[in-house]
Amino acid sequence: MKILSINAGSSSLKFQMYEMPEEKVLISGVFERIGIDGSFYTIKLNGEKQKKEVVLKNHEDAVKILIKELLDNKVINDLSEIDGVGHRVVHGGSKYAKSVIIDEDVIKTIKSLFDLAPLHNPANLLAIEAFRNALPNALEVAVFDTSFQQTMEKEKFIYPVPYEWYEKYGIRKYGFHGISHNYLANRMKEILGRENFKLITCHLGGGCSIEAIKDGKCIDSSLGFSPNAGLMMGTRSGDIDAQLIPFVMEKSGMSLEEVMSALSKKSGFLGLSEISSDSRDIEAGVDKGDEKCILAQHIFVNRCVEYIAKYYVELEGVDAICFAAGLGENSIATRKQILDKLKVLGIEIDDERNNVRGKETLITKDSSKIPVWVIPTDEEVMIARDTYKLANK
């Protein structure tokens, strides 16, 4: 069975086609700058990568070209061979605790959540509609980034604000990156070899989140009502005192929209370093003695330590910790700095084992009280798995 995993942004569309249930990747790639000048796409097939410049006016253009590539490269001989298309949908609100087959009711719900995820859900829906038009006979599935966190207890997801805000407006912690955290939980269950376990997962990339997981279920998440909560990130502030928003508006003359944009797009590593949102550039600045880069790195590490320590206490101990995503999988220095600050928990990092990028490995000593792993995350395969399961129901 051939399944497409789709992750659409406002100006991008990432794809990966699998032969299921073998989980063999047949082709992958990404369309970029959709609706913007200079659009192009790259595909990876049989180990070879190609980049092609092309006009992409909208997501439908990207889908048409994708289908043509599948046919031209003999990945499929006929459209009927595509059994399912799984879509990453960022926000499912409180309604969806698992992936669902897309119907008109699901589409209405995704639309109703536009105001909770204005940058993501509209783009997700554009891709859904484009594939529905191009592949009317394929099963389409929505895999929500907020489903995994629906197992949180109310005391963990309710904010201490007027309760009617929750009832009227849905103000609560939702958590995101759920597809990734779910993958990490599943993989660590295999590594640990048991159903009952306590785990802290650290998804550290351009966006960052840490979650507390017990017996495969999320019990708490650093992300909140929006993806700009918890940890400091590439361009996002993470947790702040809400009172600074009207204060900055009054002092600077900035509008609410401008302040919120600054907190989301001009803060984090970029805001503090005034150089870059990329952790690699921050680390290079640290090596050169740049004081602002050093400050940014220290604050990021401290935030990570705070959440790991918090969840260690919530879980009453943990069986493992794991790092994933771009920064978590590749930043040797950041992992070491975080774990060195957690020595009080009995964690003993092994510098030789930690000298790894993008590879699944144990990075602590055998004597460490808590094993710490690097686990490259795989959201695409999780989307394919859920789509395959629903296609076989």
The pLDDT tens digits of the residues spanning 325-363 come to 989 999 999 999 999 999 999 999 999 999 999 999 999
pLDDT-derived band at 271, boundaries 50, 70, 90: very high
> Which pLDDT belongs to residue 372?
97
> Which pLDDT belongs to residue 90?
86
The fold for domain 194-379 equals Nucleotidyltransferase; domain 5 (3.30.420)
Active site residues: 145
pLDDT at residue 5 tops 90: yes
Mean pLDDT for all residues in the chain = 92
pLDDT at residue 214 tops 90: yes
Taking only Cα atoms into account, the Rg of the chain, rounded to an integer number of angstroms, comes to: 21
The beta-carbon contacts of 363-371 under 8 Å, at least 24 apart in sequence, are 363/335, 363/339, 364/339, 369/345, 370/318, 370/319, 370/320, 370/321, 370/345, 370/346, 371/319, 371/320, 371/321
The average pLDDT across 21-38 equals 90
> Which pLDDT belongs to residue 122?
84
Instruction: Please provide residue 315's backbone torsions phi and psi, each rounded to the nearest 5 degrees.
Output: -80, -10
pLDDT-derived band at 288, boundaries 50, 70, 90: very high
Residue-wise DSSP of 74-108: TS-SSGGGEEEEEEEES--TTT-SS-EE--HHHHH
- In whole angstroms, what is the distance from residue 187 CA to residue 183 CA? 6
Amino acid occupying residue 14? K
pLDDT-derived band at 11, boundaries 50, 70, 90: confident
> Which pLDDT belongs to residue 60?
86
> Which pLDDT belongs to residue 33?
84
Which of 9-23, 38-52, 111-125, 163-177 is the least confident region? 111-125
Q: Which of 89, 108, 220 is nearest to 154 (CA)?
A: 220
- Note whether 82 and 391 are within 8 A (CB): no
The average pLDDT across 6-28 equals 90
Omega of the bond leading into 21 within 30 degrees of 0 (cis): yes
Level-2 CATH architecture, domain 2-144: 2-Layer Sandwich (3.30)
> Which pLDDT belongs to residue 22?
95
pLDDT-derived band at 113, boundaries 50, 70, 90: confident
The pLDDT tens digits of the residues spanning 35-93 come to 888 889 999 988 889 999 999 888 888 989 999 999 999 999 989 899 999 999 988 88
Amino acid occupying residue 94? S
pLDDT at residue 32 tops 90: no
Amino acid occupying residue 60? E
- In whole angstroms, what is the distance from residue 257 CA to residue 42 CA? 34
> Which pLDDT belongs to residue 93?
86
Q: Where in the chain is the domain with CATH 3.30.420.40?
A: 2-144, 194-379
> Which pLDDT belongs to residue 253?
95
| DSSP label at residue 119 | T
This prediction's pTM? 0.91
> Which pLDDT belongs to residue 294?
96
The average pLDDT across 142-163 equals 95
